[in-house]
Amino acid sequence: MNDRPALSNLATIDAAHHLHPFSDMKELNARGTRIIERAEGVYIYDSNGRKYLDAFAGLWCVNVGYGRRSIADAAYRQMQELPYYNTFFGTTTPPATLLAQKIASHGGEKLKRVFFTNSGSEATDTWFRMARVYWKVLGKPEKTEVIARKNGYHGSTVAGASLGGMKLMHEQGNLPIEGIHHIGQPYWYAEGGDLSPAEFGLKVARELEEKIDELGEDRVAAFVAEPIQGAGGVIIPPETYWPEIARICKARNVLLVVDEVICGFGRLGAWFGHQYYGVEPDLAPIAKGLSSGYLPIGGVLVSDRVADVMVNELGDFYHGFTYSGHPVAAAAALENIRIIEEEGLVERVRDDIGPYFAEAWKSLEDHDVVGQAESVGLIGGLQLAADKATRRRYAKPDDIGATVRNHCVENGLIMRATGDRMLASPALTISRLEIDEVVEKLRAALDHLR
Ligand code: PLP
């Protein structure tokens, strides 16, 4: 049955044939890639039999934890019954339709429709076109410009990388494409200067208003942001930020797009990040926690405001993917959401394990090299600091973060570093004991910077 070559050869085969995403291949081939073979709960195991606590849920996605047989069973049953059929030409499949209904049941009053994609990046491309189409149908074809944020992340397609505010991504492929503009991020620790977090939150939110004025309200289609900037370093906005953003979008008639790819499906202790921050998006891309990564699937939650135009006035929307609403991925996602509901994982994050994590994470602020350790629900960002008192940062942020991350890995803890910030985003099922393990191991890694 299994004709896989011996695992001892895999690293060599990998170096010869596999180009990895977001990797320096020369460096990776010299180092040798780590081969992850299996996983259970919050632990992953490599081909050398080493065990790691995965405090990152894969890539912010394995919300229900590893090893869920019932998701595998749901996919298996669906694959036998109907492995594939499209949702293009007047057809659907039971899992695709039931999944749309299920997602809508958690989206609140106004987000009632879902357009399916295979990933978060495709979800970005989808809402980007929807936003422009929306205004065009309403007789405002010049309302095409989209405003996003420095250091935001919305995927890796051409539109996704353009909307993202990652300089290194822009430099590869002559991005951003036309019609995309970036404003500042609510990163108080590094950019807040003498302002209080509340003052700074308002100041950066108002950059949106200034940018709309500069471009002209009649030309701006949408503004996009993650509830909490994830890949940019788990940048948690001051509490003044989101209400002001929502106010500006409403006042200026600009669509508000909240990218829920990381924050959706329970991570902040609410079904969606916009609910945590009390704002109502017009469009909300989703992926990751939708299936907990068991199979690739994403989508866009569409508000009645936009859907009414799409459904009643547009005619054909010339957009979609062969695998939009793929029945096997949809069946896996349905079972994933059933688990989140049945085990009360959203409430668990809000009322129990989230507060426990917050306290444990915050306790790291007594360490000499930690400037700030903040979290919401089960997402945490820890700021490394060369001098706590003055908020002075290390001269080489990337090196310092990588050093801490490498010590974590050596000690059996998977964490991510973005510059001089350490990021955590564990499964929503993580136990108190496992959180203690994360914090202890991270603390031991931080000790190496002393
Ligand atoms: N949006 C956000 C906020 C993300 O964090 C990501 C991926 O990390 C994406 C979009 C892109 O999703 P994908 O990698 O599934 O294309």
Residues of the chain with pLDDT under 70: 1-8
The residues pairing with 284 across neighbouring beta strands, listed in sequence order, are: 301
Distance 449 CA to ligand 1 centre (A): 31
Distance 261 CA to ligand 1 centre (A): 6
Claim to verify: residue 48 and residue 106 sit in the same structural domain? no
Say which CATH number the domain at 177 has: 3.40.640.10
Best substitution site from 153, 265, 418 to test ligand 1's pocket, by max atoms within 8 Å of Cβ? 153
Claim to verify: residue 284 and residue 373 sit in the same structural domain? no
Distance 122 CA to ligand 1 centre (A): 9
Ligand 1 atom closest to the CA of 157, numbered from 1: 16
The parent domain of residue 136 ranges over 71-342
Claim to verify: residue 45 and residue 185 sit in the same structural domain? no
Distance 275 CA to ligand 1 centre (A): 19
Distance CA(218)–CA(141), nearest Å, equals: 9
Residue whose CA lies nearest to ligand 1 atom number 7: 155
Q: 220 is written with which tokens? A: 């701006």
Specify the number of domains making up the chain: 2
Distance 349 CA to ligand 1 centre (A): 22
Claim to verify: residue 394 and residue 439 sit in the same structural domain? yes
Distance between first and last Cα of the chain: 52
Going by C-alpha positions, the residue among 191, 113, 114, 108 that lies closest to residue 149 is: 191
Residue whose CA lies nearest to ligand 1 atom number 1: 154
Claim to verify: residue 88 and residue 42 sit in the same structural domain? no
Claim to verify: residue 383 and residue 306 sit in the same structural domain? no
Q: In the listed set 286, 318, 342, which residue is the last one of a domain according to the structure?
A: 342
In a domain, 334, yes or no: yes
Ligand 1 atom closest to the CA of 260, numbered from 1: 3
In a domain, 1, yes or no: no
Distance 214 CA to ligand 1 centre (A): 29
In a domain, 219, yes or no: yes
Ligand 1 atom closest to the CA of 298, numbered from 1: 15
Q: In the listed set 313, 342, 371, which residue is the last one of a domain according to the structure?
A: 342
pTM of the model: 0.97
292 SS3 class: coil
Residue whose CA lies nearest to ligand 1 atom number 13: 120
400 SS3 class: helix
Task: Give the DSSP per-residue string, 148-211.
Answer: EETT----SSHHHHHHS--HHHHHTTT-SPTTEEEE----HHHH-TTS-HHHHHHHHHHHHHHH
132-186 pLDDT tens trace: 999 999 999 999 999 999 999 999 999 999 999 999 999 999 999 999 999 999 9
User: CB–CB of 163/146 below 8 Å?
Assistant: yes
Claim to verify: residue 355 and residue 335 sit in the same structural domain? no
Distance CA(251)–CA(258), nearest Å, equals: 17
Q: What is the pLDDT of residue 6?
A: 60
Claim to verify: residue 360 and residue 432 sit in the same structural domain? yes
Distance 27 CA to ligand 1 centre (A): 25
User: CB–CB of 64/336 below 8 Å?
Assistant: yes
Q: In the listed set 342, 357, 389, which residue is the last one of a domain according to the structure?
A: 342
Distance 155 CA to ligand 1 centre (A): 5
Ligand 1 atom closest to the CA of 231, numbered from 1: 5
Claim to verify: residue 78 and residue 159 sit in the same structural domain? yes
Strands (E), 262-401: 283-286, 298-303, 370-376, 379-384
Best substitution site from 62, 154, 257 to test ligand 1's pocket, by max atoms within 8 Å of Cβ? 154
Distance 78 CA to ligand 1 centre (A): 26
> In this structure, what DSSP letter does residue 217 have?
G
Best substitution site from 127, 261, 263 to test ligand 1's pocket, by max atoms within 8 Å of Cβ? 261
Say which CATH number the domain at 59 has: 3.90.1150.10
Ligand 1 atom closest to the CA of 119, numbered from 1: 15
Distance 229 CA to ligand 1 centre (A): 11
Q: 343 is written with which tokens? A: 């085990």
Going by C-alpha positions, the residue among 273, 433, 423 that lies closest to residue 360 is: 433
In a domain, 210, yes or no: yes
Distance 131 CA to ligand 1 centre (A): 19
In a domain, 60, yes or no: yes
In a domain, 24, yes or no: no
In a domain, 159, yes or no: yes
Q: What is the pLDDT of residue 4?
A: 58
Ligand 1 atom closest to the CA of 230, numbered from 1: 5
Task: Give the DSSP per-residue string, 352-383.
Answer: IIHHHHHHHHHGGGGSTTEEEEEEETTEEEEE
Q: Which residues line ligand 1 (CB under 6 A)?
A: 119-121, 124, 153-155, 226, 230-231, 259, 261-262, 287, 298
In a domain, 27, yes or no: no
> In this structure, what DSSP letter does residue 290 have?
G
Please give the single-letter amino acid code of residue 166.
M
Claim to verify: residue 369 and residue 331 sit in the same structural domain? no
274-322 pLDDT tens trace: 999 999 999 999 999 999 999 999 999 999 999 999 999 999 999 999 9
Q: What is the pLDDT of residue 450?
A: 80
Claim to verify: residue 297 and residue 360 sit in the same structural domain? no
CA 22 to chain centre: 16
Claim to verify: residue 162 and residue 131 sit in the same structural domain? yes
What are the two backbone dihedrals, phi and then psi, of residue 199, each rounded to the nearest 5 degrees?
-65, -40
